[in-house]
Amino acid sequence: MEEIVSVQNQQAPQHDGHLPDIPFFTQLGILRRLLNSSEEFLKLAALSAVLLFILLATAYGQVTLNQWNVPFYNAIEQRDVPEFIRQLKIFVFIAAGLLILNVAQNWFQQTLSVMMRKAIVKNLINCWLHGNKASKLDKSGFYAQNPDQRIHQDTRQLADSTTGLTIGFIQSSILLFSFIGILWNVSEGFVFHYNGYAFSLPGYMVWAAILYVGIASALSRLVGRGLVRLNAAREAQEAEFRAALVTIISENDNYPMANESERKIGFLRSKFQGLYFSIKKLIFMETNLTWISSGFGWMAIVVPILAAAPIYFSGGLNFGGLMMTVGAFNQVYSALRWYVNNYQAIAEWRAHLLRITGFHTLLLTE
């Protein structure tokens, strides 16, 4: 029972946000070396190349689908049934191609993720067990705590989020450059008339999308400050609570003493209490972020129509052109809003990256 007493009396590491710091670009360099030095590097490179091709093909299909809006909605406006049916057949062909590409992207993305995890896990295991470092680590240090969680849970989450965020960023960038030209051309020569004055703003639909996303991004960044710190602290406290449970189970198996039950209960409750408050802080911050992301998401239904309305009602666009413009606006908006939508995911990814790279750095210095 001495071990339980010593664990209870030991000063628990405090994770109040002042975590050991490794510069972000140093973390990226460590991750790159972990992957480049692995046996899976060539497979990772091949999978990445295939995924890039799929993303480019998908963007081409989405541009084609956006241009399809013009003849389709014009046929509806003109009540042209033969043209309407012809455009429906074209839509089936485009949609089928996009469906195949989406399924392929999902398969290759998951395969890339598990291959990345395999490369990281093999490297960490080699470093951890080489020279009996597993028994030499000072478990009181932040990066050395709970190596089982680092190798099992953090590697999985790091691989999944790295592939997901990277592919999302590339896809959003491709869509942005693909559709921003459409928006610019639609509103390039439009002239506003107000109170006897005439003025033009070249590409104003593009500026409208940038302004809208900029406001959403600024609010999300303001509300979401500290997410990286809170996520890292929550993961550390989850690990401490799990380790405390393992310790109690081990002591019960080896030294079953009924009169120690109250002490064990208090020990576990104190461990969970810190975790509880950490999760409560995360819930509060994530709820505030939901107000921003969901609110701007719902408003995006009408914002492009309102922005394009002056051109449409002045006769500068037919109905098909309006729908194409709305579709292009939504694509640009979605691409620009990638950072807003993934602010929380980026924070969680950085927390896992910090834990993995910190653990790897510690192993190399032992």
Q: Point out the least confidently predicted range of 12-21, 26-35, 241-250.
A: 12-21
Strands 197-200 and 191-194: antiparallel
Whether 153 has a pLDDT exceeding 50, the answer reads yes
CA 265, CA 261: separation in Å to the nearest integer? Answer: 6
CA 206, CA 39: separation in Å to the nearest integer? Answer: 45
pLDDT digits (tens, 9 = 90+) for 93-136: 999 999 999 999 999 999 999 999 888 888 888 777 765 555 55
315 conformational bin, left if phi > 0, alpha if psi -120 to 50, beta if neither: left
Radius of gyration of the chain measured on its C-alpha atoms: 27
Contact in structure between 341 and 293 (CB atoms under 8 Å): yes
pLDDT at residue 250, rounded to an integer: 72
CB-based burial label for 272 (10 Å; 0-12, 13-18, 19+): middle
CA 121, CA 38: separation in Å to the nearest integer? Answer: 10
Q: What is the mean pLDDT of residues 74-82?
A: 91
β-pair partners for 200: 191
Measured CA angle at 40 (ends 125, 128), to 5 deg: 10
pLDDT digits (tens, 9 = 90+) for 297-324: 788 888 888 888 888 887 778 888 888 8
Q: Point out the least confidently predicted range of 108-117, 245-254, 336-345.
A: 245-254
pLDDT digits (tens, 9 = 90+) for 194-231: 777 777 778 888 888 888 888 888 887 787 777 767 87
Question: What SS3 string covers the chain?
Answer: CHHHHHHHHCCCCCCCCCCCCCCHHHHHHHHHHHHHCCCCHHHHHHHHHHHHHHHHHHHHHHHHHHHHHHHHHHHHHCCCHHHHHHHHHHHHHHHHHHHHHHHHHHHHHHHHHHHHHHHHHHHHHHHHHHHHHHHHCCCCCCCCCCHHHHHHHHHHHHHHHHHHHHHHHHHHHHHHHHHHHHHHHHHCCCEEEECCEEEECCCHHHHHHHHHHHHHHHHHHHHCCCHHHHHHHHHHHHHHHHHHHHHHHHHHHHCCCHHHHHHHHHHHHHHHHHHHHHHHHHHHHHHHHHHHHHHHHHHCCCHHHHHHHHHHHCCCCCHHHHHHHHHHHHHHHHHHCHHHHCHHHHHHHHHHHHHHHHHHHHHHHC
Q: What is the mean pLDDT of residues 28-51?
A: 89
Percent of the chain with pLDDT over 70: 84
Contact in structure between 37 and 123 (CB atoms under 8 Å): yes
pLDDT at residue 366, rounded to an integer: 56
Task: Report which of 328, 44, 70 is spatially closest to residue 187, judged by C-alpha positions.
Answer: 328
Sign of CA dihedral 229, 234, 237, 239: negative
Whether 334 has a pLDDT exceeding 50, the answer reads yes
Whether 12 has a pLDDT exceeding 50, the answer reads no
pLDDT at residue 194, rounded to an integer: 72
pLDDT at residue 13, rounded to an integer: 38
pLDDT at residue 135, rounded to an integer: 53
pLDDT at residue 142, rounded to an integer: 54
Give 43's Cβ-side CA count (13 Å radius).
14
